[in-house]
């Protein structure tokens, strides 16, 4: 799964770079946001707590001041001259009058004078009702001992009614059922939470003779909470329209509060949540935290009221509505988050575009590689107008491709050249093979011919003797018979002729088989005169075929050769030429100097005809022994023997022909013969050829 996610990342460097750039953004920003959120919340909470702590201190101070003020007022009245005049021995009516006046001028809700048994002797309300255990009240007991004091006390409904029925009525608070409050099946709170103050009344001797007792009922004391609220949350001291609230609790019940239940209905009789109650009243701790108050969340501070006996009888509360602050905080956080998100998105987009721009050369190169692989060898990245490293790499890449293309072209050329050379060499090899094959064939033929030659030579010798005997005896026969032989003269002539023919054939055979044995003496031969002799000898043949003869002599030197052998060679060539010109033609005989550079080394004799010519395929074979195209009449030995004869003196015969136009044979002869060494086997010698020079 994870791998599948990472796969595109592994394939693209751009994606990797992008991930590298975006990772801190996408991982770091959420972490940062989480930290900002946590720290922000913590700081916000701390700020609220320290604010509510301060608020509660102010409220507490104010409350204490009110308490102290009441205590002082009572102490002032208790020590006043007017009271000393009226109590204990004065007019009770005047005393009551004095108390009434004092009640009106001070903030206390009741004021009465107690005697030293703790029973009231006069009250500001006029009517005095006996109450048991007045001295059990701590402040009263202390005052009787001579120390004035002020504290918080809970007054029962009877006690309130005994002091002043109106107080009992004021203390009555109808309980409103409140969710999350501690279970309580009462329907009303009848007790009164009182700031209870008492001061000793002394006689002139300074002895305590009575106690001035007074108190401020906190139940329904809206002035008090409004004052606290006004002091703690002065106009404009709370930001963003948050509202400040203050409450006095009797136990867990709101007996004086400016917290609103509805429109203008104060939430009197509603109760604090059980959590707060347990914390503050149960454990006696001060609460600084957000708490659900009546119908909304308030940043709240609660501290317990402790009565003179150390019981926690109620609470002082101040707090302010959290919602506007929370909304402001959430707005700020939202704006912050929004900004972060926008910055991240912008960063991502910019990074994306940037990464794309950075990686364009790499992608281009990748594309070019792909195209080149597809066979578009001309594909290039081109000028990217970038001077950074990647731009230079792309440029070098193009350069590399260019030089690769050049190298490939060169390689192709070399390969073509190599192919051509291989073909050439193969052809040469085939040629050489063909030559070898022919040589082998020739060798076989030569060897056969050598054997035949040996045989022929033997046979010729054997035949020569009987032929000589026949000829000799025939002559003897003719001589002896004399005229008697006349009737068979013609037959004798024919026998002579045929025997001579036998001799000639045998001689030729012998000459072919053992040319060395027939080598005669050599001399300096004048070529034109030999040619002239040959023409005389072949005149008959030439005339018969109506061949015109032309002779061109330019040779300046004689050649070294056996004259009759040269004659034999030339006559053979002339006869061949005439035979090639069945319908007549022109025979050109020529002689010219054979030059080696400037030096005349011999004579070249030309025998040219305008005959049928020789096919290219045959031209290579005409000097082979027994090669003939004249089936039946030719022996195929003429040129072979002629070549052998000429070569013996260091010369050679070459032929050149155009089929249909004619042939020219050249006989190359040296002025000073160079005798060839080596085997004289006619077959071997006969294979020497100079088909074209």
Among 576, 591, 610, 643, contact with ligand ADP (rule: CB under 6 A): 576
DSSP assigned state of 592: E
The least distance separating ligand ADP from the CB of residue 433, rounded to whole angstroms, comes to 26
The least distance separating ligand ADP from the CB of residue 589, rounded to whole angstroms, comes to 13
The least distance separating ligand ADP from the CB of residue 546, rounded to whole angstroms, comes to 16
CB 111 within 8 A of CB 206: no
In the complex with ligand ADP, the residue whose CB is nearer, 325 or 577, is 577
The least distance separating ligand ADP from the CB of residue 677, rounded to whole angstroms, comes to 25
The least distance separating ligand ADP from the CB of residue 641, rounded to whole angstroms, comes to 8
Among 319, 585, 638, 651, contact with ligand ADP (rule: CB under 6 A): 638
The Cα 444–Cα 434 span in angstroms is 15
What is the CB neighbour count within 10 angstroms for residue 50? 11
Q: 409 to 428, contacts with ligand ADP by CB under 6 A?
A: none
CB 120 within 8 A of CB 132: no
The Cα 409–Cα 403 span in angstroms is 10
CB 108 within 8 A of CB 100: no
The least distance separating ligand ADP from the CB of residue 532, rounded to whole angstroms, comes to 20
The least distance separating ligand ADP from the CB of residue 542, rounded to whole angstroms, comes to 14
What is the CB neighbour count within 10 angstroms for residue 92? 14
In the complex with ligand ADP, the residue whose CB is nearer, 367 or 630, is 630
In the complex with ligand ADP, the residue whose CB is nearer, 66 or 619, is 619
The Cα 152–Cα 492 span in angstroms is 197
First to last CA, the chain: 87
The Cα 146–Cα 206 span in angstroms is 9
Q: 54 to 83, contacts with ligand ADP by CB under 6 A?
A: none
CB 271 within 8 A of CB 317: no
Residue 31: both structure tokens together: 């972490």
Residue 249: both structure tokens together: 């609790």
In the complex with ligand ADP, the residue whose CB is nearer, 68 or 661, is 661
DSSP assigned state of 182: P
Residues in the chain: 693
Q: 578 to 597, contacts with ligand ADP by CB under 6 A?
A: 580
Q: By CB under 6 A, is residue 340 in contact with ligand ADP? A: no
Binding segment toward ligand ADP, per CB under 6 A, in 1-9, 158-166, 446-454, 637-645? 637-645
In the complex with ligand ADP, the residue whose CB is nearer, 639 or 670, is 639
Q: 513 to 572, contacts with ligand ADP by CB under 6 A?
A: 572
Residue 257: both structure tokens together: 């509060």
In the complex with ligand ADP, the residue whose CB is nearer, 311 or 567, is 567
In the complex with ligand ADP, the residue whose CB is nearer, 56 or 574, is 574
The least distance separating ligand ADP from the CB of residue 625, rounded to whole angstroms, comes to 8
Q: 187 to 206, contacts with ligand ADP by CB under 6 A?
A: none
CA dihedral 87, 88, 91, 93 (to 10 degrees): 70
In the complex with ligand ADP, the residue whose CB is nearer, 309 or 658, is 658
The least distance separating ligand ADP from the CB of residue 453, rounded to whole angstroms, comes to 17
CB 271 within 8 A of CB 175: yes
In the complex with ligand ADP, the residue whose CB is nearer, 18 or 614, is 614
Q: By CB under 6 A, is residue 639 in contact with ligand ADP? A: yes
Q: 662 to 691, contacts with ligand ADP by CB under 6 A?
A: 663
The least distance separating ligand ADP from the CB of residue 476, rounded to whole angstroms, comes to 36
> Where are the extended beta strands (E) located within 157-222?
173-174, 188-189, 192-202, 208-217
Binding mask 93-132 for ligand ADP (x = CB under 6 A): ----------------------------------------
Q: By CB under 6 A, is residue 645 in contact with ligand ADP? A: no
The least distance separating ligand ADP from the CB of residue 678, rounded to whole angstroms, comes to 22
In the complex with ligand ADP, the residue whose CB is nearer, 399 or 544, is 544
Q: At what angle do helices 489-513 and 638-647 cross, to 10 degrees?
A: 50
Among 238, 325, 401, 577, contact with ligand ADP (rule: CB under 6 A): 577
Binding segment toward ligand ADP, per CB under 6 A, in 122-130, 297-305, 488-496, 573-581? 573-581
Q: At what angle do helices 389-481 and 323-373 cross, to 10 degrees?
A: 10
How big, in percent rounded to 5, are the helix, strand and coil portions of the chain? 55, 20, 25
In the complex with ligand ADP, the residue whose CB is nearer, 359 or 623, is 623
Q: Buried (b) or exposed (e) across 410-438, using 16+ Cβ within 10 A?
A: eeeeeeeeeeeeeeeeeeeeeeeeeeeee
The least distance separating ligand ADP from the CB of residue 585, rounded to whole angstroms, comes to 10
The least distance separating ligand ADP from the CB of residue 642, rounded to whole angstroms, comes to 8
Binding mask 597-636 for ligand ADP (x = CB under 6 A): ------------x-xx-x-------x----xxxx---xxx
Closest CA to 194 of 213, 212, 175: 213
DSSP assigned state of 487: G
DSSP for 617-679 reads HHHTTTTSTT--SSTTT--S-HHHHHHHHHHTTT-EEEEEEETTTEEEEEEEEESS-----S-
Q: Which residues contact 55 (CB under 8 A, 6 or more apart)?
A: 232, 233, 244, 301, 318, 319, 320
Number of residues counted as binding ligand ADP (CB under 6 A): 21
The Cα 493–Cα 632 span in angstroms is 26
Residue 40: both structure tokens together: 């922000």
The least distance separating ligand ADP from the CB of residue 622, rounded to whole angstroms, comes to 4
The least distance separating ligand ADP from the CB of residue 608, rounded to whole angstroms, comes to 9
In the complex with ligand ADP, the residue whose CB is nearer, 347 or 636, is 636
In the complex with ligand ADP, the residue whose CB is nearer, 321 or 637, is 637
In the complex with ligand ADP, the residue whose CB is nearer, 518 or 627, is 627
CA separation, residue 287 to residues 193, 275, 321 (Å): 21, 10, 16
In the complex with ligand ADP, the residue whose CB is nearer, 636 or 691, is 636
Per CB under 6 A, residues contacting ligand ADP are: 572, 576-577, 580, 609, 611-612, 614, 622, 627-630, 634-640, 663
């Amino acid at each position: 799964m994870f791998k599948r996610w990472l796969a595109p990342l592994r394939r693209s460097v751009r994606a990797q770079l992008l991930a590298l750039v975006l990772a801190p953004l996408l991982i770091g920003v959420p972490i940062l946001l989480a930290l900002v959120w946590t720290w922000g919340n913590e700081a916000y909470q701390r700020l609220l707590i320290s604010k509510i702590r301060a608020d509660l201190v102010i409220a507490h101070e104010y409350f204490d001041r009110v308490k102290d003020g009441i205590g002082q007022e009572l102490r002032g009245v208790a020590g006043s001259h007017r009271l000393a005049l009226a109590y204990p021995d004065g007019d009770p009516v005047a005393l009551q009058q004095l108390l009434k006046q004092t009640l009106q001028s001070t903030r206390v809700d009741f004021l009465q004078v107690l005697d030293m048994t703790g029973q009231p002797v006069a009250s500001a309300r006029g009517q005095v009702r006996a109450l048991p255990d007045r001295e059990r009240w701590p402040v009263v007991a202390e005052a009787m001992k001579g120390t004035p004091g002020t504290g918080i006390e809970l007054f029962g409904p009877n006690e309130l009614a005994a002091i002043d029925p109106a107080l009992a009525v004021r203390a009555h608070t109808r309980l409103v059922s409140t969710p999350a409050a501690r279970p309580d099946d009462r329907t009303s709170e009848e007790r009164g939470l009182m700031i209870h103050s008492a001061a000793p009344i002394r006689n002139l001797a300074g002895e305590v003779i009575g106690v001035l007792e007074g108190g401020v009922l906190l139940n329904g004391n809206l002035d008090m909470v409004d004052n606290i609220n006004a002091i703690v949350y002065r106009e404009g001291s709370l930001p963003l329209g948050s509202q400040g609230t203050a409450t006095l609790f009797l136990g867990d019940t709101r007996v004086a509060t400016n917290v609103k239940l509805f429109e203008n209905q104060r939430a009197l009789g509603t109760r604090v949540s059980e959590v707060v109650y347990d914390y503050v009243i149960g454990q006696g701790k001060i609460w600084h935290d957000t708490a659900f108050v009546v119908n909304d969340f308030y940043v709240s501070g609660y501290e317990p009221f402790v009565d003179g006996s150390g019981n926690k009888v109620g609470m002082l509360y101040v707090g302010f509505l959290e919602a506007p602050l929370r909304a402001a905080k959430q707005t700020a956080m939202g704006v912050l988050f929004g900004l972060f998100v926008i910055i991240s998105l912008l960063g991502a987009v910019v990074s994306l575009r940037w990464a794309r721009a950075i990686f364009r050369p790499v992608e281009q190169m990748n594309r070019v590689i792909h195209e080149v692989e597809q066979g578009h060898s001309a594909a290039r990245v081109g000028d990217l107008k970038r001077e950074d490293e990647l731009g230079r790499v792309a440029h070098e890449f193009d350069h590399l491709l260019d030089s690769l293309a050049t190298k490939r072209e060169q390689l192709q050329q070399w390969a073509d050249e190599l192919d051509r050379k291989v073909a050439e060499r193969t052809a040469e090899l085939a040629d050489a093979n063909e030559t070898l094959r022919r040589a082998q064939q020739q060798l076989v033929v030569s060897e056969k011919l050598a054997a035949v030659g040996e045989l022929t030579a033997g046979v010729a010798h054997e035949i020569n003797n009987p032929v000589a005997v026949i000829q000799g005896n025939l002559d003897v026969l003719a001589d002896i018979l004399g005229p008697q032989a006349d009737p068979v003269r013609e037959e004798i002539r024919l026998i002579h002729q045929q025997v001579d023919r036998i001799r000639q054939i045998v001689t030729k055979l012998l000459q072919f088989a053992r040319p060395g044995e027939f080598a005669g003496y050599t001399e300096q031969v004048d070529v034109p005169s030999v040619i002239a002799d040959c023409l005389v000898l072949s005149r008959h043949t030439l005339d018969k075929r109506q061949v015109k003869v032309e002779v061109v002599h330019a040779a300046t030197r004689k050649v070294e050769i056996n004259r009759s052998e040269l004659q034999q060679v030339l006559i053979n060539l002339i006869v061949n030429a005439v035979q090639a010109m069945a319908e007549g033609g022109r025979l050109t005989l020529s002689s010219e100097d054979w030059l080696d550079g400037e030096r005349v080394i011999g004579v070249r004799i030309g025998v040219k005809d305008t005959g049928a010519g020789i096919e290219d395929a045959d031209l290579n074979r005409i000097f082979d022994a027994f090669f003939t195209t004249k089936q039946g009449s030719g022996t195929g030995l003429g040129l072979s023997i002629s070549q052998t004869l000429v070569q013996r003196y260091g010369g050679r015969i070459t032929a050149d022909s155009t089929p249909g136009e004619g042939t020219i044979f050249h006989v190359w002869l040296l002025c000073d013969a160079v005798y060839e060494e080596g085997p004289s086997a006619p077959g071997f010698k006969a294979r020497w050829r100079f088909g074209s020079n």
